[in-house]
Amino acid sequence: MDVVGFLVRPSQTKGFSPHRDRQPEDWTPKGVPPDTGSTFKADGMAKYVTLWAALTDANPENSCLHFVPRRVDPGYSAGDPDQGDPMLRIFQDKAAFQSIRSAPVTAGGCTFHTHRTIHWGSAGRRTADVAPRIALSFGGLGVLA
């Protein structure tokens, strides 16, 4: 199981840049075929899910998660090409940015997302007088086997 802690002070730091939690190089050493489809069950349920738990309020003022929905992400199920940026494939025009979803979470709440969901932690407002965002992330490759 992976456990990651996050402390974001808007006046000093920002969240992670856009990413997927797992790529083929993460699961093929575990004996799972490299194609993205092998990381989902027959019913479409992901074999790897991340739980992101807010220990303090997480909102746009102090940094919260942002997600790209599966329906607008051509690489979610098909996989990403070896060359090129997945974000550039998604955001080919200005209207595509309307698909981004912000996920404010109150202290004690959580979000779940799959290994294929592109997500990131935003930069909070540097001038805002807010408490830092503190969160934990839990995920495990063991469920891929």
Lowest mean pLDDT among 72-76, 83-87, 119-123, 126-130: 126-130
| Domain positions in the chain | 2-144
Confidence at residue 145, expressed as pLDDT on a 0 to 100 scale = 44
CA distance 125 to 107: 19
Query: What is the token pair recorded at 103?
Result: 């996920």
Q: Is the pLDDT of residue 20 over 70?
A: yes
Q: What is the pLDDT of residues 54-74, one digit of tens each?
A: 999 999 999 999 999 999 999
Residue with the bigger pLDDT between 22 and 56: it is 56
Burial class (CB in 10 A: 0-12, 13-18, 19+), 100: middle
CATH class in words for 2-144:
mainly beta
CA distance 133 to 35: 35
Lowest mean pLDDT among 13-22, 32-41, 130-139: 32-41
Confidence at residue 13, expressed as pLDDT on a 0 to 100 scale = 83
Q: Is the pLDDT of residue 141 over 50?
A: yes
pLDDT band at 90 (very low <50, low <70, confident <90, very high): very high
CA distance 17 to 118: 10
Alpha-carbon dihedral sign for residues 125, 104, 50, 91? negative
Confidence at residue 144, expressed as pLDDT on a 0 to 100 scale = 45
To the nearest whole number, what is the mean pLDDT of the chain?
88
Query: What is the token pair recorded at 130?
Result: 């807010």
Q: Is the pLDDT of residue 117 over 80?
A: yes
Query: What is the token pair recorded at 25?
Result: 């190089």
Query: What is the token pair recorded at 70?
Result: 């599966």
Bridge partners, residue 139, by sequence? 2
